[in-house]
């Protein structure tokens, strides 16, 4: 169960919440503060899954996801979006983002989604 999870969000509160949630799951958690940082963290410590916020300074979640997929298309990405961002969600799915979840989300739903994606990826 030593999955490595990368949490990418510009809001400290969200990073803390998700870090705590996934540590409880027994995962190793790394965090990134924006899109650019997320690419460095992916290269430094190949995660098994990336949770990617959409709206961030420097580089947004869509651009960062494209870069990460170019670097390694086997790393699944879950996008965290706000309501009314369906156009961006559509683009994200087109470039290869696996799943998305709409903020504000229930952390149990996110936990289950992450489990599901990790298990699928392990079987494949």
Choices 26-34, 46-54, 80-88, 110-118; region in contact with Mg ion by CB under 5 A:
46-54
Among 53, 79, 113, 114, binds Mg ion (CB under 5 A): 53
Least Å from the CB of residue 34 to Mg ion = 9
Query: Which residues, in sequence order, are bridge partners of residue 50?
Result: 6, 77
For 40, phi then psi, to 5°, come to: -60, -40
Structure letter (DSSP) for residue 101: E
Q: Should residue 55 be labelled a site residue for Mg ion when binding is judged by CB under 5 A?
A: yes
- Number of chain residues interacting with Mg ion (CB under 5 A): 4
Report in angstroms the alpha-carbon separations of 122 from 1, 48, 118, 119.
11, 9, 6, 5
Report in angstroms the alpha-carbon separations of 8 from 29, 122, 123.
11, 22, 25
Q: Which tokens belong to 20?
A: 């705590």
Least Å from the CB of residue 38 to Mg ion = 12
Size of the chain in residues = 124
Q: Provide the mask over 57-96, with x wherever binding to Mg ion is found by CB under 5 A and - wherever it is not.
A: ----------------------------------------
Closer of 7 and 114 to Mg ion (Cβ)? 7
Residue whose structure tokens are 């995962």 = 27
Q: Should residue 10 be labelled a site residue for Mg ion when binding is judged by CB under 5 A?
A: yes
Q: Should residue 34 be labelled a site residue for Mg ion when binding is judged by CB under 5 A?
A: no
Binding site for Mg ion (CB under 5 A): 10, 53, 55-56
């Amino acid at each position: 169960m030593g999955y490595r999870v990368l949490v990418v969000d510009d809001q400290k509160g969200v990073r803390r919440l998700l870090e705590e949630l996934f540590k409880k799951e027994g995962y190793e958690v790394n965090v990134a503060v924006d899109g650019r940082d997320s690419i460095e963290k992916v290269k430094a410590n190949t995660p098994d899954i990336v949770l990617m916020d959409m709206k961030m300074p420097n580089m947004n979640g869509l651009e960062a996801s494209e870069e990460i997929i170019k670097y390694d298309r086997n790393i699944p990405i879950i996008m965290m979006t706000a309501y009314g961002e369906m156009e961006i969600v559509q683009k994200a799915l087109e470039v290869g983002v696996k799943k998305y979840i709409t903020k504000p989300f229930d952390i149990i739903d996110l936990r289950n989604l992450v489990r599901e994606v990790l298990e699928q990826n392990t079987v494949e």
